[in-house]
Amino acid sequence: MLKNHCLAKSIADAAWNQFVQFAMSKAEEAGRRVVLIELRNTSKRCSRCRQMVQKDLSIRVHSCPVCGLVIDRDENAAINILALGLQCLGASP
C-alpha cells in the first residue's frame, strides 16, 4: 500500500503514530517517559560546536569545518537527539 502515492503518506503517518503510542504504553509500564522532539536538522548540526553543516543525504560522514569533528552522520544525529531529549527533561547531557 505504500507504493500507492495517494495513500503512502497517510499509511506511514498512521504507522508512526501507532509506534509512538506503543512506545509510550511500554514506557509507562516500566515507569519511564517518552519525550517527543523536533528531529529537523539533527544530522546537520554539529554535536560538538552546534554549528550547522549543510550536506546532501548522500554524504554519510559528518565533518565539521569549525571544530574539526569527524563522525558518522547517524551517530552525530543520535548525540543531538539525546541532547534535545535531555534538554526537554531539564537535564544536561
Q: Taking Cα atoms as reference points, which of 50, 19, 13, 35 lies closest to residue 85?
A: 35
pLDDT digits (tens, 9 = 90+) for 10-24: 767 777 888 899 999
Bridge partners, residue 63, by sequence:
70
Same domain, 56 and 90: yes
Same domain, 28 and 39: no
Q: Indicate the average pLDDT of the chain.
A: 89
**Which bin fits 69, alpha (ψ -120 to 50), beta or left (φ > 0)?**
beta
Tell me what pLDDT residue 66 has: 97
Query: Is the pLDDT confidence value at 29 over 60?
Result: yes
Name the residue range of residue 17's domain: 1-32
Same domain, 25 and 40: no
pLDDT digits (tens, 9 = 90+) for 36-61: 999 999 999 999 999 999 999 899 99
